Chain A
């Protein structure tokens, strides 16, 4: 049976140490090639930065991995399991998380309720018609995340009333909920003050070691401080990979990227 062979093959691959494997992933929007032949292996627990100019395809890559837009070609495996054809919520329930470049929040909900929903999303009783008690396991988790991202003072505030910086913190908080195994951070430092950037670096470096991530970040002070390896993208392709030191010293990279550094 092809099906059982498939499952057996997936189990075998599952024993491998890769959190994320991309094989020949491509995404076309009509004639526009947003991503082409992306091959990537990211080990469990690895922290990877993806750099590249605007329009290089970084966010499209994230959308392909989370399923927001499906890739037009290639396969994606998450901890050995082929997730290419899974809908987004099934990928999330397997331990994948993401944040967005432009905050995607719930403006009519409070901060605590937003984080509670993030915890409940990968838990049971998503359809419960009862109000969550303060002792609810997901509510307790939400409070500890609230503490970890320093949002206690805004616990009951409506999301729409939060400052930009606080909304970015909440954006990260939502991705930390419910035992993530791997997180995609899309420009988490966008629009943050220098102080807030320092807090962000502390939060990222303080994550448990088993949680790996990919971070898209234009601010190299942030990107190179929170990553172990760096991938460079240009025109929808990966063209260089190395340690932060190697990338920083690379003349080609300096020309393309550091010369035209973004605010």
Chain B
């Protein structure tokens, strides 16, 4: 190699480690072959492989994993491992590996499914370290992806293993949890809960008729949807059940539990049910409203209530036209999947609600939009045609909604743009302002008393206070 590129190679090695082994050097030369100037090529490789942020040691825990992360390091114990031969398909690049290794990796913060294009130097139960790992989304949940360029090494038990990493036995136990704590970090869970809703549905799976049971579970902390592929004898609305080793699935960003063949489900009654922190009567009540700070902090929430002021009505609210095929909003007469279509009229509102502790965009469907707007779709359309401004409905919506307090009930989910909320119902808050005001006056009085008392006890503190 000539002298011009030697310094660049040196810098790459400094930033990224062994560039020969990881194939980064080959990639660098490929860019040069395309007549990319060496320093630009270096920059782009540094960006791609994360050299610019070497100063930040990016060792992540399972709970930190989000979609589409790049070039991080992770340690974990292998809980499951299997390999899958891939049939070579036409157009496959020569030399591409034909075996995919999949499994589950866990640390003390959770477990994550992974897939690897390289054979792993270890077996179930052993600890590995992966450098240059990536994530992607598969079946609505984050998946760890070990690529050809990732460096995988086995961490010997004892000296090399982080002390915090639990044993295989502990990690593969299906933890007993409260419903609120079930998240995408769990692959399987156990819990006790009351059945709030239940229905049977006949579906055809792989050409065979099957009955699936679906419904809603609740304990004192949260509600969660569930499905069961097995019959649940003796279980009905109002039953309290205990389930062991149920699978956790993600649907639209909200966790749900799935009872599979291996799940044990039993009905709890008599004195044992009396010992639980909840009963069917207590969980049947409307959920307690959450602050928006709490909604924002969670990845996905099922059937919760929160309220706030409308601080902004977002563009795209009002009368829209939807693709008859897929329901996407039609823009300029075309659907981005189905081209030119005859759109179907619909109304929706996207509003940002804010309670001073957090801020959450909330979607309202046609029915709820008509309710809070006070105009039907037809009335809105009439307004749209009577006014030369194409934003007449949007402006009208802003005038009616901006500032108002809305209490919404529905599901929250985390997308790549943060948490968003889909309303199932909406109402004006019903709390009594006079009661709240009196309570605040009491709190202010008792704070004053404390201040006076502390000054009496400690004159020094008083002086500082008054200075």
The judgment on whether A and B are partners is no
